[in-house]
Amino acid sequence: MKQLTLNISDSKFRTFLEFIKTLDYVEIPEADKKTLNELQNSLNQVKLMQEGKIEKQPAEDFLNEL
């Protein structure tokens, strides 16, 4: 089996992911699906922070959560 790395714009990511799930010859392991969704959510949050739409969390608070 071959692997391919793609760069997809944030706005089209979910649509593309749903499309490739419909292809019977493409395999997306369950763990990878969850990771991809979590990563996409994180990227969306960063974008909203950069746009000033949600409040940024101080690094100290973030580290205390870990």
Average pLDDT over residues 53-61: 87
Tell me the mean pLDDT in the region 41-56.
90
In a domain, 48, yes or no: yes
- Mean pLDDT computed over 6-17: 88
* Domain of 33, in residue numbers: 11-65
Would residue 24 be called left, alpha or beta, if left means φ above 0 and alpha means ψ between -120 and 50 degrees?
A: alpha
Q: Is the pLDDT of residue 53 over 90?
A: yes
Judge whether 21 lies within some domain: yes
Number of domains composing the chain? 1
In a domain? residue 28: yes
Rg (CA), the chain: 15
Does the pTM surpass 0.85? The reply is: no
In a domain, 22, yes or no: yes
Lowest model confidence (mean pLDDT) among 29-33, 41-45, 49-53: 29-33
